[in-house]
Amino acid sequence: MAAPTQKIMEISSFVSKLLRQNFGKGPLSCYPFSRSHFLIFYIRGFLSPIENVLIENQDIDNAKISRNVVMKTILTELKGILELEFQQDVQSLYHDWNYLNNTGMITAVFEKEIPSFKSVEQFPEYKDFIAEVERISILVQKKPDKIEAFQITPKLYLVKRYGILVPIEKALIENGYEQALLVTKDKLEKKYFYQHGHFDEIFKKPVTDIFVDWNLKDDRSLTYFFLH
Protein backbone atom coordinates (compact mmCIF):
# COMPACT_ATOMS: atom_id res chain seq x y z
CA MET A 1 0.00 0.00 0.00
CA ALA A 2 1.25 3.46 -0.88
CA ALA A 3 2.50 5.71 1.89
CA PRO A 4 -0.06 8.19 3.27
CA THR A 5 -0.10 11.62 1.63
CA GLN A 6 1.04 14.71 3.47
CA LYS A 7 -2.59 15.78 3.92
CA ILE A 8 -3.53 12.49 5.57
CA MET A 9 -0.48 12.56 7.83
CA GLU A 10 -1.42 16.08 8.92
CA ILE A 11 -4.95 14.90 9.74
CA SER A 12 -3.46 12.00 11.68
CA SER A 13 -1.46 14.49 13.75
CA PHE A 14 -4.66 16.48 14.29
CA VAL A 15 -6.39 13.34 15.61
CA SER A 16 -3.54 12.83 18.10
CA LYS A 17 -3.89 16.47 19.15
CA LEU A 18 -7.65 16.09 19.68
CA LEU A 19 -7.12 13.04 21.86
CA ARG A 20 -4.48 14.82 23.91
CA GLN A 21 -6.64 17.93 24.38
CA ASN A 22 -9.71 15.97 25.48
CA PHE A 23 -8.10 13.21 27.56
CA GLY A 24 -5.00 14.94 28.89
CA LYS A 25 -2.76 12.41 27.14
CA GLY A 26 -2.04 11.68 23.50
CA PRO A 27 -1.34 8.30 21.85
CA LEU A 28 2.15 6.91 21.23
CA SER A 29 1.23 6.58 17.55
CA CYS A 30 -1.68 7.26 15.21
CA TYR A 31 -1.15 5.74 11.77
CA PRO A 32 -3.62 6.34 8.92
CA PHE A 33 -4.84 3.94 6.23
CA SER A 34 -6.95 5.10 3.28
CA ARG A 35 -8.93 3.01 0.81
CA SER A 36 -11.96 3.79 -1.34
CA HIS A 37 -14.30 5.77 0.96
CA PHE A 38 -12.60 4.76 4.24
CA LEU A 39 -10.05 6.72 6.26
CA ILE A 40 -8.83 4.64 9.21
CA PHE A 41 -6.56 5.65 12.09
CA TYR A 42 -4.83 2.85 14.00
CA ILE A 43 -3.92 4.11 17.46
CA ARG A 44 -1.43 2.61 19.90
CA GLY A 45 -0.49 3.47 23.47
CA PHE A 46 -3.46 5.56 24.51
CA LEU A 47 -4.81 5.41 28.06
CA SER A 48 -5.60 8.44 30.20
CA PRO A 49 -4.63 8.43 33.91
CA ILE A 50 -8.26 7.94 34.96
CA GLU A 51 -8.70 5.05 32.53
CA ASN A 52 -5.54 3.43 33.87
CA VAL A 53 -7.03 3.49 37.37
CA LEU A 54 -10.35 2.04 36.17
CA ILE A 55 -8.63 -0.77 34.27
CA GLU A 56 -6.29 -1.57 37.17
CA ASN A 57 -9.44 -2.01 39.24
CA GLN A 58 -10.98 -4.34 36.64
CA ASP A 59 -13.59 -1.71 35.72
CA ILE A 60 -13.25 -1.80 31.93
CA ASP A 61 -16.98 -1.23 31.39
CA ASN A 62 -16.90 2.23 32.99
CA ALA A 63 -13.67 3.03 31.13
CA LYS A 64 -15.49 2.27 27.86
CA ILE A 65 -18.56 4.32 28.79
CA SER A 66 -16.53 7.36 29.85
CA ARG A 67 -14.40 7.20 26.70
CA ASN A 68 -17.50 6.91 24.50
CA VAL A 69 -18.88 10.12 25.98
CA VAL A 70 -15.69 12.11 25.31
CA MET A 71 -15.26 10.58 21.84
CA LYS A 72 -18.59 12.05 20.72
CA THR A 73 -17.09 15.54 21.01
CA ILE A 74 -13.88 14.50 19.26
CA LEU A 75 -15.68 12.82 16.36
CA THR A 76 -17.92 15.85 15.82
CA GLU A 77 -14.86 18.08 15.43
CA LEU A 78 -13.06 15.52 13.27
CA LYS A 79 -16.08 15.21 10.96
CA GLY A 80 -16.01 18.94 10.25
CA ILE A 81 -12.29 18.90 9.46
CA LEU A 82 -12.55 15.91 7.13
CA GLU A 83 -15.49 17.31 5.19
CA LEU A 84 -13.63 20.60 4.77
CA GLU A 85 -10.38 18.95 3.67
CA PHE A 86 -11.89 16.42 1.23
CA GLN A 87 -15.00 18.37 0.14
CA GLN A 88 -17.03 15.24 0.72
CA ASP A 89 -19.73 14.37 3.26
CA VAL A 90 -18.78 11.95 6.02
CA GLN A 91 -21.51 9.33 6.24
CA SER A 92 -20.50 8.11 9.70
CA LEU A 93 -17.61 7.79 12.14
CA TYR A 94 -16.69 4.71 14.16
CA HIS A 95 -14.26 4.00 16.98
CA ASP A 96 -13.31 1.06 19.19
CA TRP A 97 -10.54 0.18 21.64
CA ASN A 98 -8.73 -2.87 22.93
CA TYR A 99 -7.79 -1.85 26.46
CA LEU A 100 -5.66 -4.92 27.14
CA ASN A 101 -3.56 -4.38 23.99
CA ASN A 102 -3.79 -0.59 24.40
CA THR A 103 -4.79 -0.18 20.75
CA GLY A 104 -7.71 1.45 18.98
CA MET A 105 -9.33 2.40 15.69
CA ILE A 106 -11.10 5.53 14.49
CA THR A 107 -12.72 5.36 11.06
CA ALA A 108 -14.42 7.89 8.81
CA VAL A 109 -16.74 6.50 6.14
CA PHE A 110 -17.30 9.01 3.35
CA GLU A 111 -20.46 9.10 1.25
CA LYS A 112 -18.44 8.54 -1.93
CA GLU A 113 -15.01 7.21 -2.84
CA ILE A 114 -12.25 9.78 -2.41
CA PRO A 115 -10.37 10.18 -5.74
CA SER A 116 -6.96 10.28 -4.04
CA PHE A 117 -7.66 7.02 -2.13
CA LYS A 118 -6.71 3.73 -3.73
CA SER A 119 -9.69 1.57 -4.73
CA VAL A 120 -10.40 -1.75 -3.06
CA GLU A 121 -10.34 -5.05 -4.91
CA GLN A 122 -12.00 -8.33 -4.05
CA PHE A 123 -9.63 -10.73 -2.29
CA PRO A 124 -9.43 -14.56 -2.57
CA GLU A 125 -10.91 -15.22 0.88
CA TYR A 126 -13.88 -12.91 0.32
CA LYS A 127 -16.70 -15.48 0.15
CA ASP A 128 -15.44 -17.60 3.05
CA PHE A 129 -14.83 -14.47 5.12
CA ILE A 130 -18.34 -13.13 4.49
CA ALA A 131 -19.88 -16.52 5.29
CA GLU A 132 -17.99 -16.77 8.60
CA VAL A 133 -18.97 -13.24 9.67
CA GLU A 134 -22.58 -14.09 8.82
CA ARG A 135 -22.41 -17.32 10.84
CA ILE A 136 -21.08 -15.53 13.93
CA SER A 137 -23.63 -12.73 13.54
CA ILE A 138 -26.44 -15.30 13.55
CA LEU A 139 -25.06 -16.91 16.72
CA VAL A 140 -24.97 -13.57 18.54
CA GLN A 141 -28.07 -11.83 17.19
CA LYS A 142 -29.39 -12.38 13.65
CA LYS A 143 -28.39 -12.65 10.02
CA PRO A 144 -27.46 -9.18 8.75
CA ASP A 145 -29.50 -7.77 5.89
CA LYS A 146 -26.25 -7.16 3.99
CA ILE A 147 -22.51 -7.74 4.51
CA GLU A 148 -19.58 -6.15 2.66
CA ALA A 149 -15.89 -6.90 3.18
CA PHE A 150 -12.82 -4.86 2.23
CA GLN A 151 -9.09 -5.58 2.29
CA ILE A 152 -7.52 -2.33 3.49
CA THR A 153 -3.96 -3.69 3.72
CA PRO A 154 -2.51 -7.23 3.56
CA LYS A 155 -3.00 -7.38 7.34
CA LEU A 156 -6.19 -5.34 7.84
CA TYR A 157 -9.66 -6.43 6.75
CA LEU A 158 -12.86 -4.48 7.33
CA VAL A 159 -16.44 -5.76 7.40
CA LYS A 160 -19.51 -3.57 7.09
CA ARG A 161 -22.81 -5.05 8.22
CA TYR A 162 -26.26 -3.59 7.62
CA GLY A 163 -29.44 -4.45 9.53
CA ILE A 164 -28.19 -6.35 12.58
CA LEU A 165 -30.27 -4.99 15.47
CA VAL A 166 -33.00 -7.20 16.94
CA PRO A 167 -36.27 -5.71 18.34
CA ILE A 168 -35.19 -5.84 21.99
CA GLU A 169 -32.00 -3.89 21.16
CA LYS A 170 -34.03 -1.23 19.35
CA ALA A 171 -36.31 -0.96 22.39
CA LEU A 172 -33.30 -0.51 24.71
CA ILE A 173 -31.99 2.29 22.49
CA GLU A 174 -35.39 4.03 22.49
CA ASN A 175 -35.45 3.85 26.30
CA GLY A 176 -32.04 5.44 26.76
CA TYR A 177 -29.86 2.38 27.34
CA GLU A 178 -27.58 3.00 24.35
CA GLN A 179 -24.28 3.03 26.28
CA ALA A 180 -25.08 -0.11 28.27
CA LEU A 181 -26.10 -1.85 25.04
CA LEU A 182 -22.88 -0.85 23.27
CA VAL A 183 -20.70 -2.17 26.12
CA THR A 184 -22.63 -5.46 26.21
CA LYS A 185 -22.58 -5.94 22.42
CA ASP A 186 -18.86 -5.14 22.35
CA LYS A 187 -17.99 -7.87 24.86
CA LEU A 188 -20.36 -10.45 23.39
CA GLU A 189 -19.45 -10.03 19.73
CA LYS A 190 -15.71 -9.98 20.36
CA LYS A 191 -16.00 -13.09 22.51
CA TYR A 192 -17.73 -14.96 19.68
CA PHE A 193 -15.43 -13.62 16.96
CA TYR A 194 -12.33 -14.66 18.96
CA GLN A 195 -13.54 -17.95 20.47
CA HIS A 196 -15.94 -19.30 17.86
CA GLY A 197 -14.66 -17.79 14.63
CA HIS A 198 -12.50 -19.65 12.12
CA PHE A 199 -10.74 -16.59 10.74
CA ASP A 200 -7.24 -17.94 11.42
CA GLU A 201 -8.03 -20.87 9.12
CA ILE A 202 -9.57 -18.66 6.44
CA PHE A 203 -6.59 -16.29 6.23
CA LYS A 204 -3.92 -18.85 7.19
CA LYS A 205 -2.67 -16.30 9.72
CA PRO A 206 -3.59 -15.59 13.34
CA VAL A 207 -5.92 -12.69 14.10
CA THR A 208 -4.19 -10.42 16.64
CA ASP A 209 -6.78 -7.67 17.11
CA ILE A 210 -10.53 -7.30 16.50
CA PHE A 211 -12.41 -4.02 16.74
CA VAL A 212 -16.19 -3.52 16.48
CA ASP A 213 -18.40 -0.44 16.53
CA TRP A 214 -22.01 0.31 15.64
CA ASN A 215 -24.00 3.14 14.16
CA LEU A 216 -27.17 2.37 16.12
CA LYS A 217 -29.18 5.10 14.40
CA ASP A 218 -28.62 3.67 10.91
CA ASP A 219 -28.33 0.04 12.14
CA ARG A 220 -24.85 -0.51 10.71
CA SER A 221 -21.61 -1.89 12.09
CA LEU A 222 -17.91 -1.93 11.22
CA THR A 223 -15.67 -4.79 12.30
CA TYR A 224 -11.90 -4.82 11.80
CA PHE A 225 -9.60 -7.85 11.74
CA PHE A 226 -5.88 -7.31 12.18
CA LEU A 227 -3.71 -10.27 11.12
CA HIS A 228 -0.28 -11.14 12.50
Give the pLDDT score at 62: 85
Query: Mean pLDDT, 10 residues at a time, over the chain (228 residues)?
Result: 79 94 90 95 89 84 86 94 95 92 94 90 94 96 96 95 95 92 92 95 95 94 95
Give the pLDDT score at 47: 84
Give the pLDDT score at 3: 64
Is the torsion defined by CA of 67, 228, 186, 126 positive or negative? positive
Give the pLDDT score at 162: 97
End-to-end CA distance of the chain: 17
SS3 188: helix
The whole-angstrom separation of Cα 166 and Cα 139 is 13
Q: How many CA atoms lie within 13 A of 87 on its CB side?
A: 2
User: Model pTM?
Assistant: 0.91
Distances (CA, A) of 194 to 148, 189, 227: 20, 9, 12
Give the pLDDT score at 99: 86
